[in-house]
A and B are shown apart, each in its own frame.
With several copies, the nearest count.
Chain A
Amino acid sequence: MTATSTARGEQSIEYSPDDMMIAAAARALRGYRVCFVGIGLPSTAANLARATHSPDLVLVYESGTIGAKPTRLPLSIGDGELAETADAVVSVPEIFNYWVQGGRIDVGFLGAAQMDRFANLNSTTIGDYEHPAVRLPGAGGAPEIAASCKEVIVLIRQSHRTFVERLDFRTTVGFGEGPDDRRRWGLRGSGPTLVITDLGLLRPDPVTRELTMTALHPGVEIDQARAATPWELRVAEQLTTTEPLSEEELRGLRDLQATQDHG
């Protein structure tokens, strides 16, 4: 990861592409009330949102913790800190059936090893399923988060390794093969409304649902994004540039990262 440097007034701020992804994800949470959070970048982003613009954002973790207010970045989705700071801890059946499938979650985060142009995700195997080159951890809560959260934000780096013409395994449905599939499959959320990469932002076309590059991070050129995408990348007519990391964001992020003790 190369660090990006951007001039803000007198000061130059150093941050990584991951930092940019996290900040963009945190910003994207503005205006939402209830966020379903996985561990890693999503958890960092959601807690950064709480630490900056959205102190009342409700964090729900798959382990059953509703309204967790961690004071440090959790080590797992079942970190004791989450249970101790939560408004309520419920069972896993209840989380999935009443809260996720019941349509109570405004926005969920997902990552994946591979994504296709319709924001379908693979977190199962690289290579053939029966004889995989790489066996990944598997589905976890992703399929139902994608099915039932009102919206989904995907965090994924943009490269020929992660952006693929055809998934080796479709673990999680984005938009299937196009605009009708979610309805046909009984998936009641809107699906992925935003994909955040290390290069910029993509959003589904309102009609076709194919992902469209709508913004680039500071310093990224559209040709970089095209080169990182194995299919002919659709680009929005009004391509914008994301705001660079503010000092407040970076401070918030570093404060959060400082709480994470990897033993």
Chain B
Amino acid sequence: MAQIQTLAEAVGNLVNDGDCVALEGFTHLIPVAAGQEIIRQGRRDLTLVRLTPDIVFDQLIGMGCAKKLVFGWGGNPGVGSLHRFRDAVENGWPHPLEIEEHSHAGLTNRYVAGASGLPFAVLRGYFGTDLMGRTETVKQVVCPFTGEELAAVAALRPDVTVIHAQQADHQGNVLMWGITGVNKEAVLAAERVLVTVEEVVDRLDPRPGGVLLPTWVIDAVAEAPGGTYPSYTAGYYERDNSAYVHWDTISRDRETFLTWMDEHVLGGSMAVGR
């Protein structure tokens, strides 16, 4: 059963140094506030996972929280590069970043296998690409019926999955809608689950496209209004595209980045700092 906690409490209770942490949100419902709280709490040596790491991953990497990144596509969507990610990979700043990369379908199916209690999933892909052989989590499996060779991806079971949703009720049931991506699978694959929500409401009303996660698959729910900013939350607010464009400038330079993080992320908190 989900406990309704503050974001600081929830991150403090659920996210440990060295954990494998999936912060999912496929182009929508991106858990920015939760990621920034992880930064404020100074977590280290995390294996961070997301299909589409974007600005908040750039921040986590640039602030030195990540030992490893498991991902599919790491960019500033519609704008360009993630400069902190690139600096980590190209120059090892602030420290070297181990990377494990997949196609979106491959990483998606790693979650699906995890959610399904299976050790692996099967897909058509990877063969012929240099992705194959770069990770131990992609191998080959032979169809016992046709003899065809297919790609197998290892189940992914994060220690913690963090997602953002629109609403929770007081019992900790969670409702999300719009593009929900791989959020359900990332939740059901994880050992522990933290959901930030725009608001806690008295009652969750069924709605078109609504996806409900029952409280008994969640550990903590934390209110984080505006928790996906500068991305958007359907039904609540729009994407602030200028912030994405601006991030390109902020993140290009290490000092500019650190100063911005100090002011905008660390400043307002009782954080341990970096």
List residues of chain A with CB under 8 Å of any chain B CB: 33-34, 39-40, 58, 62-67, 75-80, 82-84, 87-89, 91-93, 96-98, 100-104, 120, 124, 129, 131-135, 137-144, 147-148, 169-173, 176, 181, 184-188, 261-263
Contacts and interface: CB of A to CB of B under 8 A. Distances in A.
B256 interface: no
B101 A139 contact: yes
A75 B129 contact: no
Contacts of A79: 27, 239
Contacts of A148: 117, 124
A141 B131 CA distance: 13
B28 A80 contact: yes
Given A83-B28, A131-B90, A141-B73, 18 more contacts: A66-B212, A78-B27, A78-B179, A80-B178, A91-B184, A93-B108, A93-B109, A97-B116, A102-B116, A104-B188, A139-B102, A140-B103, A143-B105, A143-B126, A143-B129, A148-B117, A186-B124, A262-B241
A88 B215 CA distance: 12
Interface residues of B, number: 71
Contact of B77 (A39, A67, A103, A170): A39
B264 interface: no
Contacts of B126: 143
12 contacts: A34-B216, A78-B179, A79-B27, A92-B182, A97-B115, A98-B185, A137-B81, A138-B72, A144-B104, A173-B127, A263-B241, A263-B244
A93 B104 contact: no
B245 interface: yes
Nearest to A106: B216
Contacts of B1: 33
Interface string B224-257: 0000000010100011111111000000000000
B188 A102 contact: yes
A68 to B, nearest CB: 11
B51 interface: yes
B151 to A, nearest CB: 8
Interface string B187-226: 0100000000000000000000101101011000000000
B166 interface: no
B120 interface: no
Nearest to B209: A89
A170 B130 contact: yes
